[in-house]
Structure formats: C-alpha cells, structure tokens
C-alpha cells in the first residue's frame, strides 16, 4: 500500500471512508456468492439429513442415508473407481502434455505462442461434440471400423472399443490434454534461463540440468495441470453416459441418478458431499504450492 | 546454450508436436467432413457432398430456440460474472480487509469442486425455496462457475498497473467512484472484455450444471444432448456443432488477442 493510502488510514474519517469503499465493492459479489454458492451447499448438507425428498417425511431428520452410504460398498467402490479413472486420466495427460510444453517453451522459439494456440483451438469446440467425435470414432459402425472395412483391411467389424472404461479414459485424455499443457507451459516459462546457464557453467550435463533444475522447478505447473484435470474428472458423468456403457460408469453417474431418476435427493446429497470433501482434501493435500491462477489457466 | 546447438530440420519435439496436433484435430475434422456427407449415418465410405444438413438447421425451430436461449444465458450470466468479479478483484487487489482469506477461498472454491456438485446444490436450494427451475437458474449457476475466472483475470490486470494513476485521478478532484469509472475501468477494459468472453464461452458450452437446472426451456448443450439419442438427428447435430465451433474459435481468438494486447500494453506502461 502506498504512503498516501497509509496516510489516509491514519485519520479516523478517512479510515471510515476506506471501509465504506470496501463494503460497497464487496457486498454485491459477497451476497451473490453467499446466496447462490454457500447457502446451496448448506441446503445440500441439510438435505443429506432429511428422510425423504418430498412430503411429510421431508421434515424428518435422520442419519439413515449416511448409514446407507457407509453400508453401500458398491457406491464406495464406484467412488474409488472414479478416483482411479481420474488419476489415470490426469497422469496420462501430464505424461503426454509435458513434452509438448517442454518443446514449446525450450525449443519452439518465437513461434511458441502461436503453436500453443494451435494446440488449444480444438478445446474451444463444444465439449459434447468432442465426446461425440470419439463415440463416432470408436463405435462398431464407427469411423475406424468402417474405414478399415471399406479399405478391405478387415473382413468384419473389429471388437468394439466403445462402451468401456478405456473409451472413457481415451475420450477424457483427448478433452483435457491441452488444458494440462497450458499450466505446465506457464510453469516452464517462469523458469529463469540464467539458472540453466549457471548449471551448465558449473559442469552439469543436459540430462542433469533437466532432472535437477528444470523438472523440480516445473512441478507447481505440473501439479496445477494435474489438478485441473483431476478435479472435474472425479465428478464426470457426461462422458461415461455417452461412451462408457456399463463398464465405464462413474460415481458422477450415481449422483446424477439420485437426482434425475431415483429422486432420492437426501442420498444424492450425501454422495455429493462425500465427493466434494474427498476432492477438497486431495486438492489441498496435493496442491499446496499450486497457484490458483495456474489452476484457472488465467 | 540453445543457439549454439545446430537444429535439425525436423526435431523429435517438432514431430511429437505434429502428432499431438493431429490427434487433437483429426476427430473434429472428421466430424466436419461428415457434416457435408449425404447420409444419415456417420460411416465410410462417404456419399455425395451435400449442404442439406446446414439447410435443415434453419427449419429446426427447437434447435434455433435453444441456440437463442444459450445466447441469452451466456450474455446475461457473463455480464453479471464480469461485474461481480471486477468488484471483487478491485477489493482484493487494492484493499486489505478482515476475512480477506475467507473471501478469496469462498470465491475460488468453485474452481476446485466438480461442477456436478454445484448443479445439484443449486437444484436443491431452488427446490427448498420453491423457485421453479428455468434458464434464470442456469444463468445463476454459470455466474458461480465464472466469477472466479473473471475475478482472477481482472485482478491480474489491476496488479499490473500501480494505483498512482488512481491517486492522480483523485488529486485532480475526482471522487473515488469517479476514479474507478474514469481511470481504473478504462485501463482494465481489455481484461474486462477477456473476462466477459471467457465467461461467455464457458456458459455457452456448459452442460453438467445446466442439465440439473433447466426447466422447460433447454440451452443448446442440453438440447444437443437430448438429440444424441436419435441417430437420425446426428448429421444435423454435427452440422450445428461445426458452426458453433467456428464461431467459438473466432470468439476465443478474439479473447486471446485482447488478453495479449492487454499484457503487452501492461509491459509497455510498466
């Protein structure tokens, strides 16, 4: 804060003025977030104790749904499975995206930003379209199979890739790779190039420079990239619906089912709360050094 | 260090980049190819070239209606998100206040929870207070998703120029609010527009939250999703999404350009 505003703060009247400004600036966004974010989460927590979604039973409060969730091993297994799918997807994304980001930052020279834009353009297309693209590509009457058939390379449609856990992961990786490359690239760009020269002058070999200087310094960006895939993927329900089939079902589908089909809102609330807590704990556990701006890709 | 090394014409990195770009573009290009194919099924071999799917779009009132709905929801929710995000950004960059950490946490937590949770929580709160689901509900959900982005984009811009300019404005007789309007906001204009466009494109493509909150009127992604179940409607959907894709590329390229311009003017003024 500059000297002028400090001087302002010294006078009680000016202090009041500053407080007024803060109040005016913060009240609208604060109220909005309170009304449409904090309170809804609170209502969800309240719903998790209700006996039923509608009717008189709604006014009865119970731990029944928590007990049901704790006893429901299939729900827990599904949560575990979704965490694994999210983990695999984000790891594959990081492994695929790191060399891209490295190439752009260290090898691509002045055209790096243009090349980065080229990578990101496909992800500005409709999310549903990109999933649909893979549904079409992977299906038994899909493009891969019909292409191979019409070329005469295969006699009949190959075993379908669609409707499996693998199809979900391939599709999600496709969707997220560019979003992982961005924060890794940003992280690599922040590395002071003089450090690399210093390491070289001190006799480090290129692989040593990579392993001991670049890699550790890139970790915050890598983690941001990892989390920016991991967080939405844990709760994913659209991709499994379209390409997952029975094998590729995820925890998000279970949550969605409680609201859209089963209309068991209290149980759905329990499931959402559990997922939210798991994701928050993992995010704050893993993401200590991660800048929130990296995570947002800003 | 890099300059001294002779670079081969096609490096390993360049090759990898090319493969990655192909991986990212081919599925979309194939869909665009099929949007000009005269067949209701998306399979090889290709049939005649046709533009009839694009022509049919114009005679699909429900689809055009959902497109209009999405444009309205995107426009209004992005305006609100940009306005509120900007106010929050000014507060967190230019002032220190009690519970600032809490405010930052609450306003950025939408970034770190799966959006299905937000959709469900809003569904419950509207049900609790008897508010019927509608496009308004969808728009409100989108503001919560977008406020963190808008706030961070504008905050980055505000942190990039010193508040001496604002102090100068006040020394010259403007009130604090006058300074905000006449000095701060004009300087931040590129960031405001970037925040707006980023919010708009997010809202326009958003499905996971909208799915829970639409009433009788669908947004475009919700409508598209409902159409995916009917294979005969597929070419139409593909044609429409190809159009949407081209439009959103234009919009986001515009955003990028603005953001970069805002960064470069920032560097110049620094």
Taking the domains of chain B in order of start, what are their residue ranges? 60-269
Angle, alpha carbons A209-A213-A217 (nearest 5°): 150
Which residue does chain B place closest to A259, by CA atoms? Answer: B120
pLDDT of residue B265 exceeding 70, the answer is no
Q: How far is B46 from chain A (nearest CA, A)?
A: 10
pLDDT of residue B86 exceeding 50, the answer is yes
pLDDT of residue B43 exceeding 90, the answer is no
pLDDT of residue A82 exceeding 60, the answer is yes
What percentage of chain B's residues is helix, strand, coil (to nearest 5)? 75, 0, 25
Q: For B189-244, what is the HEC assignment?
A: HHHHHHHHHHHHHHHHHCCCCHHHHCCCCCCHHHHHHHHCCCHHHHHHHHHHHHHH
Asked if A292's CB is within 8 angstroms of B108's CB, the reply is yes
Which of A47, A106, A143 faces B30 most closely, judged by CB atoms?
Answer: A143
**Pseudo-torsion of CA A175, B21, B228, A250, nearest 10°?**
-30
Averaged pLDDT of chain B = 86
Percent of chain A whose predicted confidence (pLDDT) is above 90: 56
**Each residue of A19-34: pLDDT tens digit?**
999 999 999 999 999 9
pLDDT of residue B2 exceeding 70, the answer is no
Kindly indicate whether the ipTM for this predicted assembly is greater than 0.85, answering yes or no. yes
Residue A150: which H helix or E strand, with range?
helix A143-150
Angle, alpha carbons B253-B254-B260 (nearest 5°): 90
Report the distance separating Cα B208 and Cα B117, nearest Å: 9
Mean pLDDT over B156-162 rounds to: 87
- Return the CATH number of A64-296, one of 1.10.10.10, 1.10.3720.10, 1.20.1260.10, 3.90.180.10: 1.10.3720.10
The reported pLDDT for the residue numbered B270 is 41
pLDDT of residue B240 exceeding 70, the answer is yes
Angle, alpha carbons A274-A278-A282 (nearest 5°): 170
Q: Of A222, A200, A205, A231, nearest to A86 (Cα)?
A: A231
**Each residue of B184-233: pLDDT tens digit?**
999 899 899 989 988 998 999 899 999 999 988 999 999 988 888 777 77
The reported pLDDT for the residue numbered B9 is 57
Q: Hey, what CATH topology would domain B60-269 get? A: MetI-like fold (1.10.3720)
pLDDT of residue A184 exceeding 90, the answer is yes
Asked if B2's CB is within 8 angstroms of A107's CB, the reply is yes
> Which of A36, A47, A104, A123 is the mutation pick for testing B, counting most B CBs within 10 A?
A36
pLDDT of residue B59 exceeding 90, the answer is no
Please state whether the peptide bond connecting residue A201 to the residue before it is cis, i.e. omega within 30 degrees of 0. no
Report the distance separating Cα B222 and Cα B214, nearest Å: 8
Q: How far is B98 from chain A (nearest CA, A)?
A: 10
Asked if A296's CB is within 8 angstroms of B140's CB, the reply is no
| Cβ proximity of A170 and A92 under 8 Å | no
Q: How far is B196 from chain A (nearest CA, A)?
A: 13
Domain boundaries in chain A?
Answer: 1-47, 64-296
**Who wins on pLDDT, A202 or A10?**
A202
Q: Where does B95-184 have alpha helices with state H? A: 100-108, 115-128, 135-160, 164-171, 176-179
Which of B16, B107, B156 faces A293 most closely, judged by CB atoms?
Answer: B156
Q: How far is A296 from chain B (nearest CA, A)?
A: 7
pLDDT of residue B252 exceeding 90, the answer is no
**Each residue of A115-143: pLDDT tens digit?**
888 888 887 778 888 888 888 787 766 66
The reported pLDDT for the residue numbered A7 is 54
Report the distance separating Cα B19 and Cα B253, nearest Å: 23
The reported pLDDT for the residue numbered B113 is 92
Query: What confidence category does residue A101 fall into, taking pLDDT thresholds of 50, 70 and 90?
Result: very high
Which residue does chain B place closest to A5, by CA atoms? Answer: B167
Which of A150, A231, A259 faces B114 most closely, judged by CB atoms?
Answer: A231
């Amino acid at each position: 804060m500059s000297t002028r505003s400090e001087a302002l703060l010294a006078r009680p009247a000016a202090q009041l003025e500053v407080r007024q400004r803060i109040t005016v600036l913060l009240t609208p966004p604060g109220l909005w977030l309170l009304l449409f974010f904090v309170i809804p989460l609170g209502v969800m927590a309240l719903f998790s104790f209700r006996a039923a979604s509608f009717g008189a039973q709604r006014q009865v409060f119970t731990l029944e749904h928590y007990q049901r969730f704790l006893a429901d091993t299939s729900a827990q297994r599904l949560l575990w499975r979704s965490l694994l799918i999210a983990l695999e997807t984000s790891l594959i994304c990081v492994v695929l995206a790191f060399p891209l980001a490295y190439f752009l930052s260290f090898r691509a020279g002045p055209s790096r930003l243009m090349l980065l834009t080229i990578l990101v353009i496909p992800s500005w297309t409709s999310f549903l379209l990109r999933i649909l693209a893979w549904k079409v590509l992977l299906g038994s009457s899909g493009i891969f199979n019909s292409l191979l058939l019409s070329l005469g390379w295969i006699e009949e449609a190959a075993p379908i890739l669609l409707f499996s856990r693998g199809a979900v992961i391939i599709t999600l990786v496709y969707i997220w790779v560019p979003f992982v490359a961005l924060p890794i690239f940003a992280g690599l760009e922040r590395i002071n190039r003089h450090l690399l020269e210093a390491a070289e002058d001190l006799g480090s070999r290129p692989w040593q420079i990579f392993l001991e200087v670049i890699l550790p310094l890139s970790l915050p960006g890598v983690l941001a990239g990892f989390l920016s895939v991991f967080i939405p993927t844990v709760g994913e329900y659209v991709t499994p619906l379209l390409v997952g089939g029975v094998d590729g079902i995820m925890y998000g589908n279970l949550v969605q089912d409680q609201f859209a089909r089963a209309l068991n809102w209290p149980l759905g609330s329990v499931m959402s709360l559990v997922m939210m807590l798991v994701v928050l704990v993992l995010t704050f556990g893993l993401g200590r050094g991660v800048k929130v701006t990296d995570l947002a890709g800003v | 260090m890099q300059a001294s090394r002779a670079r081969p014409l096609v490096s390993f990195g360049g090759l990898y980049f090319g493969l990655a770009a192909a991986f990212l573009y081919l599925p979309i290009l194939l869909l665009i190819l099929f949007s000009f194919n005269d067949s209701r099924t998306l399979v090889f071999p290709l049939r005649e070239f046709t533009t009839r799917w694009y022509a049919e779009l114009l005679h699909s009132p429900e689809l055009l209606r959902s497109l209009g709905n999405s444009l309205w929801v995107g426009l209004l929710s992005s305006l609100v998100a940009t306005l509120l995000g900007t106010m929050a950004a000014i507060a967190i960059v230019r002032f220190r206040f009690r519970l600032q950490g809490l405010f930052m946490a609450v306003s950025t937590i939408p970034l770190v929870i799966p959006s299905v949770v937000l959709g469900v929580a809003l569904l419950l709160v509207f049900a609790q207070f008897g508010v019927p689901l509608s496009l308004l509900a969808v728009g409100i959900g989108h503001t919560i998703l977008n406020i963190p982005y808008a706030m961070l984009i504008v905050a980055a811009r505000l942190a990039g120029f010193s508040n001496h300019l604002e102090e100068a404005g006040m020394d010259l007789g403007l009130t604090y609010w006058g300074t905000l309007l006449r000095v701060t906001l004009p300087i931040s204009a590129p960031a405001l527009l970037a925040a707006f466009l980023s919010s708009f494109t997010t809202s326009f493509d958003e499905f996971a939250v909208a799915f829970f909150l639409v009433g009788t009127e669908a947004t475009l992604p919700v409508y598209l999703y409902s159409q995916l179940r009917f294979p005969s409607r597929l070419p139409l959907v593909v044609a429409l999404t190809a159009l949407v894709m081209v439009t959103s590329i234009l919009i986001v390229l515009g955003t990028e350009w603005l953001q970069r311009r805002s960064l470069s003017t920032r560097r110049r003024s620094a």
